[in-house]
Amino acid sequence: MPPVLADRRDLADADELIARHGPFAAAEAASRASRSRDLGNHIHFGRWRRIERWIDWLEQPGAGETRH
């Protein structure tokens, strides 16, 4: 089951991180989430955690297949 899609920009950012960082994209999203948490920005922390979950889901085999 895919993660929650709160904003379609999350998918665009996940796609950009995958393009830039390849297999390290989820780690980059986690790093950005940690940085936001350390700064006390809970909104961006949650957003980067969602993006991290999308990256993990998108990297699974068969993630793009239609399911009925």
Per-domain residue ranges of the chain: 8-58
User: What pLDDT is attached to residue 68?
Assistant: 47
User: What pLDDT is attached to residue 5?
Assistant: 87
Instruction: Collect the ranges in the chain with pLDDT lower than 70.
Output: 63-68
Q: Model-level pTM?
A: 0.85
63 contacts 53 by C-beta, under 8 angstroms:
no
User: What pLDDT is attached to residue 52?
Assistant: 97
User: What pLDDT is attached to residue 3?
Assistant: 83
The whole-angstrom separation of Cα 25 and Cα 10 is 13
